[in-house]
Amino acid sequence: MSQELIEIDGGTMEGGGQILRMSLAFSALLKKPIKVFNIRAGRSKPDLGVNLMRDITNGRLQGAQEGSTEITFYPGNIVGGKYFADPGTAGSVMLLFQVSFPCLLFADKPSELRFRGGTNAEMAPQIDETLMIFKPIVKLFQADFSCTIQKRGYFPRGGGEVNFKVNTCPSHLQAVEILEAGEVVEIEGRSFVAGVLPIKMAHGMADGACRCLKSAFPNVTVKVERVKEPDHLAVGNGSGIVLKAKTSTGCLLGGSALGKRGVLVEEVGESAAKQLIDVVKNKACVDTYVQDQLVIFMALAKGKSRICIGSPTLHTKTAIYIAELMTEAKFTLIENGTEPIILECEGFGFQR
């Protein structure tokens, strides 16, 4: 392991947890120790992803106590196996998955993850988005996993329980090209409520989304499932909607929203629909929530990946910054007048 400590400002660009999660993942994979400072000052609890990565790598960790704004991480070897994490809050299980998944692809054996927390939380992908949209896209890189939702959990109680199985990849990830957006051929979705919230709210979100989508895509079939989560399979009260569009070239695009107090359910559905419509108008091949999640896989892959992203988000630019800081991967944003922007990466071909 390299003993030269890489220092990273956790407040750079987008800041927040993304810099910490990506830094931890690259640190574990490359066995490069890191010091991340200026991490979300005022947090009530340390980022659980830090402790999870310590366990996965049998590494050493300094500064992960409550209220800490700085951590130093010395990774060991990534070891496949069974891991459990529970923040005791509605913290997103998907953020725990984001930091651990790329690393466990290169473990010595398949792994099982059991996470507790929020399954449909603000400021994180809803678990439905990950399964409906992210999972089939990342599989193109030959990165694969399965997921079983035991219970769903919502703010503020959390309490969701999710099991992941992560398969090891071949010797390296495969570079991908996703450049032709195509035309939308079908749209499906899931509108849900849980706890004391009535099923009519799920219908309201779905109806709002369907009206908006049918106006934008009059010749496309739109089907949105309306669900009242069984009480024994959900903890707390929650509502939301996730939409997925499939195009003629096989692209998968999403839009989502969570219900909020004081916001009409129809407006929640319309918000998710408008997100999806905007992505289609931009002729992007991936949506704004997926594009930054693909950066780490593009960097790790062997060869040149090219993905039409429409326009980069600050999250994506932040992910690129960390990837180039810690690896030999090189990213380029290709602009051609009014055409959608292409994100290109010469991956460094990480091997187990």
Closest CA to 29 of 136, 83, 101: 101
How many residues comprise the chain?
352
Task: Return the higher-pLDDT residue of 37 and 43.
Answer: 37
- Positions annotated as catalytic residues are 315
Residue 290 annotated as binding site: yes
The CA distances from residue 347 to 28, 304, 327, in Å, are 17, 6, 9
Query: CB pairs under 8 A, 24+ apart, for 45-49?
Result: 45/87, 45/89, 46/71, 47/17, 47/20, 47/21, 48/85, 48/86, 48/87, 48/91, 48/96, 49/17, 49/20, 49/21, 49/24, 49/95, 49/96, 49/98, 49/99, 49/100
Q: What is the pLDDT of residue 63?
A: 84
Residue 83 annotated as binding site: no
- Reported pTM: 0.95
278-288 pLDDT per residue, tens: 999 999 999 99
333-352 pLDDT per residue, tens: 999 888 899 999 999 999 98
Residue 108 annotated as binding site: no
Residue 42: pLDDT above 50? no
Q: Given pLDDT bands bounded at 50, 70 and 90, which one contains residue 15?
A: confident
Read off the pLDDT of each residue in 178-190 and give the average, rounded to a whole number: 97
Residue 47: pLDDT above 70? no
Q: For residue 137, what are its two tokens?
A: 């896209």
208-242 pLDDT per residue, tens: 999 999 999 999 999 999 999 999 999 999 999 99
Mean pLDDT of the chain: 94
